[in-house]
Structure 1
Amino acid sequence: MSNDVSFKRAEYIEVLDRWASVRDVCAGQHRVVSRLPYINAHDKSPENADRNKAYRERAVFKNATGHTRNGLLGLAFHKDPNLTAPKKLEYLQDNANGSGVSIYQHSQGTLEKVLEAGRHGLYVDYHQDEGAGGHSVILSYCAEDIINWRTAMVNGHNVLTLVVLRESPEVADGFGYKTVEQYRELALEPDGFVCRVWQRAGPEGGGPLAVIDTFTPTGVAGRLKEIPFTFVGAQNNDPTIDESPLYDIAMINLGHYRNSADYEDSVFWCGQAQPFISGLDENWRDHMEKNGIYVGSRAPMLLPAGGAFAYAQPLPNTLVKEAMADKNQMMIELGARMVVASMSSKTATEARSDQSASTSVLAGCVANVSEAYTQAIMWCGAYMGITEEVAYQINQEFVELTADPQMITALVGLWQNGGFAKADLRAYLRKLGLIAPERIDLQIDSELQEQGDGLGLDDEDQPNGSKPSDL
């Protein structure tokens, strides 16, 4: 039996290297340069160390993985997410975590981490304000900081009964700071949810881990009967660890980087033309070494009979370059369309089909993030005694809809013939961007009633007898 709160689950330890690989590749060349092989590792001489340093400096890293991640984030957030919440929870829109980060930025960071590792976590904390009431905040935890968890059957449901989160708070150290090893235990006990904070005892933090604080957050409706923590995964939001959506691209990206290092190294060592002179005896050799040799079109070189001057140039080394091209194509096929722009024109149907295929993983991640934030907002409301419906939805329409006059005419005709409800027509026009998303039907109807047709005509003067409120 382990009483160590820093205990790490075996499946967590197993995937740490994979998470680190993807995050390093997404971060850029400065984080992956150490992953290049060390040439002639048995050679410890300064010359070999210098060669390896130059080998790394010449390598060119093409961050297809990071560009893919950023492109997918752009697709998801090219439209603002929709937050449906009562007035008491509207503060989350501008300050979701208590540090001034809006819920839009908060969820963008979460989706970024889910794309990288396939896993993230959201914890809802409650703060009792001075006087009456309190407020809730949504805290974000990377996959590496969720070190332990446990589930059990409670009232016929499989629920979280334990989550351990690793934290690294900063404490003042003169004009500097130092980090403290800390763990946050979230536990479900018979009386409800409890939170314990563990730190190492002793002045230098070298002692055993001990509880330094215990919280039993009690909102308006009392203590929660569940742990206000939700996993966010690439496949689903259960405690199991999902595969990283970008892992395959990241591994090919690393292979492409190693090929680049080899290619640039061969270009440096073998790519320069080597002049040579043949047919010289020892006397001519000594003569030319003594008087020097000038190479160029304005420096005639006098050679003996049978002497020859020429350049030796290497044959093109296409093997490494072909390997780079193959990996480049693989990254494109796996969704890294931002690496190389297509030179061929495609129909709208082909473009939408290609984009849908490569964004299907993104759609699942976006749905899971939206669901997790909706659940987190519900816990915020539960602490504050709010029972109204809440929802948070990130855009899932990654292909931009376009409308031409013929389409609009067909839609209006379908509505006039009873095939479309007016609300459905307006909802579709919002998707097309022809109606601002924040304008509700009641507001539009009210404005139409007030303005007439905008030209000062009464209803009976309208063409074809239509009324301004019909649309």
Structure 2
Amino acid sequence: MSENFDITFVRPEHRAAMPLWKMIRDVCRGADAVKSAGHDYLPRLDPTDRSARNRRRNEDYLARAVFYPITGNTKIGMLGMAFRKVPTLNAPDKLACLLNNADGAGTSIYQQSQVVLENILEAGREGLFADYSAADQRPIIVGYRAEDIVNWRTQTLNGQTRLVLVVLREITEEPDGYGFKLRVQYRELALESGAFVCRVWKRTGPDETGPYAIAEETTPRAFASSGPWDEIPFAFVGAQNNDPTLDEPPLAALAEINLGHYRNSADYEDSVWFCGQVQPWMSGLDTEWRDHLEKTGVKVGSRNPLMLPKDGAFAYAQAQPNMLAKEAMDSKRDYMVALGARLIEQNSAIKTATQASSEQTAATSLLSICVANVSEAYTRVLNWCARYAGDASGGWSYTLNQEFIARVADSGMVTAIVSAWQSGAMRDADLVRTFQKLDIIDPAVDPDDVIQALKDKPPTFTGLNNGDD
């Protein structure tokens, strides 16, 4: 069978991106992942020398290298800024189950969206599939990492570019005594004759070593009384936009410099070890003295006087320190700070709120795009889930915070806002939304509910003291 008709076919651009994704994920995981890769990220010293001595030298070279988790810390900092506020979920009561269990496995939509944004920062790509769990009689949202979205195809239908094929690689656990076996299967999402079809491909044969064949095939319906889906309920999430094309991972440049810093660290630590070893030397010895010292040995230390012949000398030789590797490390560190690794350098200088906000704008602009893309993709998937639940009204949303810097509202600002509202220059809804942005009012609360609560509040009388008539 031709490779093009094999469900395991992988698009060339996906195959080409795999090494980059692996590198970034290893760097984000930290020293254990980078060092366990051995010399994949660290060059070998004298690779033509296959002796045991050179092998041992390379092992020591790898062991002494220090990896600084700059990229991973930067990613954690970005996630912290994005989830500084709880995302806002606007969904019908039928989808309340997604709040605490979005994927049917106990992961809340809040936790799942954190993982999605993390994968976007690392790989620049993620996928969300709106599925229906027949066992639980409810819609679920399943996330797929970039590595598992192996094939896709779009087609122009009625003047619109539509997704007509997505192939997802899945790994399942099957019981094997008290252990388990990992099985690879493929899920095909296809649009055929205007209808969405879902197929699951598994290996055939007694030992599951044969070719892949269709094990399940379904034609999902939005709800019981409706016809088949006229689109594939799968949303791509990207670092730049949410189309099927691959985007550059946001942390790619930082990870590359981080690895360069790691290689400089290996050279620096090797140089420190080599230059730090002092070499004793003697001069003025004749053959008799040399043989005598070789026979009896030499003890070096303040309590072991060393007997030498006339005109004999003893001293230590030590190499001059090599600072080139250290300078290269410092240069890369400064460059990583410029790329946005704020967490590796604490600046104690006091800044005004305007200065801090303007400095963060450039550092978080890329994060803003990623957060907006995640929100947009979840909003699409949420409305698909609503259709599974029988609600095709649309308008539901899931929005992540894009206010990465806490806005400080002083008393003068609050007074000016309230004065503008009282004079009629600001509507009730605008007043509530402004206070929500300033964290004075909970951003998750519907502004209409706040306005209604204010209207229903009984009047407050001031200026009256106990005992007044």
Give the whole-Å Cα distance in 1 for the aligned partners of 2:87 and 2:444. Answer: 12
| Cα distance in 2 between the residues matched to 1:70 and 1:309 | 55
Please say if 1:167 is aligned against 2:167.
no
Which residue type is aligned with residue 378 of structure 1? N
Shift of 1:340: 2.2
Tell me the equivalent position of 1:88. 94
Counterparts of 1:318-397 in structure 2 under 5 Å? 318-388=323-393, 389-397=395-403
Q: Aligned AA for 2:27? A: V
The answer to whether the 8 Å contact 2:132/2:139 transfers is yes
Matches within 5 A, 1:191-270: 191-220=194-223, 221-270=226-275
Q: Aligned match of 2:138 in 135, 160, 177?
A: 135
Which residue is 1:6 aligned to?
A: 8
Alignment check: 8 A CA contact 2:171 2:182 kept = yes
2:413 is aligned, of 402, 407, 413, to 407
In 1, the alpha carbon distance for the partners of 2:278 and 2:425 equals 75
Cα pair 2:272 2:321 within 8 Å, conserved:
no
CA RMSD, Structure 1 to Structure 2 (Å): 2.1
Q: Deviations over 1:38-75 (max 9, x none)?
A: 22222222222222222111111101111111110111
Using the TM superposition, name which of 195-204 and 45-54 deviates more: 45-54
CA distance in 2, matches of 1:218, 1:387: 13
- What one-letter code is carried by the residue in structure 2 that aligns with 1:446? A
- Give the AA of the match of 2:126: H
CA–CA separation in structure 2 for the residues paired with 1:238 and 1:438: 29
**Aligned residues of 2:375 and 2:398 also touching (Cα < 8 A):** yes
Once residues 280 and 455 of structure 2 are traced to their aligned partners in structure 1, the CA distance between those partners, rounded to angstroms, is 85
Q: Does 1:18 pair with 2:20? A: yes
- The one-letter code of the counterpart of 2:432 is R
1:67 counterpart = 2:103: no
Task: Give the CA deviation at 1:424.
Answer: 1.9
Match for residue 467 of structure 1?
none
Question: 1:30 maps to which residue?
Answer: 32
Letter in 2 for 1:139: V
Give the TM-score taking structure 1 as reference length.
Answer: 0.91
Distance 1:321 1:343 in 2: 25
Instruction: Provide the rounded CA distance (Å) in 2 between the counterparts of 1:395 and 1:162.
Output: 32
Q: Which moved more, 1:279-288 or 1:359-368?
A: 279-288
3-state SS of 1:115 partner: helix
Please name the residue that 2:315 is paired with. 310
- Matches of 1:177 and 1:421, distance apart in 2: 61
Deviation, 1:440, is 4.6
Which runs of no fewer than 5 residues in structure 2 stay unpaired? none
* Cα separation, 2, equivalents of 1:424 and 1:303: 93
- Counterparts of 1:165 and 1:211, CA distance in 2: 14
Aligned residue for 2:114?
108
Please give the secondary structure, in 1, of the residue aligned with 2:259: helix
Residues 277 and 24 of structure 1, relative CA distance in 2, 3 Å threshold? same
Change (3 A) 1:98 1:248: same
Other structure's SS at 2:343 match: coil
Q: Residue type matched to 1:336 in 2?
A: A
Question: CA–CA distance in 2 between the matches of 1:150 and 1:450?
Answer: 57
Q: How far 1:450 sits from its partner (Å)?
A: 4.0
Task: Evaluate the alpha carbon distance shift between residue 225 and residue 46 of structure 1 in structure 2; reply closer, same or farther with a 3 A threshold.
Answer: same
Letter of the 2:254 partner, please give it. Answer: I
Map of 2:453 onto structure 1: 446
Whether the 8 Å CA contact 2:428–2:451 is kept in 1: the answer is: no
* Contact 2:122-2:252 within 8 A present in 1 as well: yes
Tell me the alpha carbon deviations over residues 152-181 of structure 1, each in whole angstroms, 9 at most, x when there is no partner.
Answer: 122221100111111111112222211222
- CA shift digits 1:359-383 (9 cap, x unpaired): 1110000000000000001111112
Amino acid in structure 1 at the alignment position of 2:218: F
Moved more, 37-46 or 397-406: 37-46
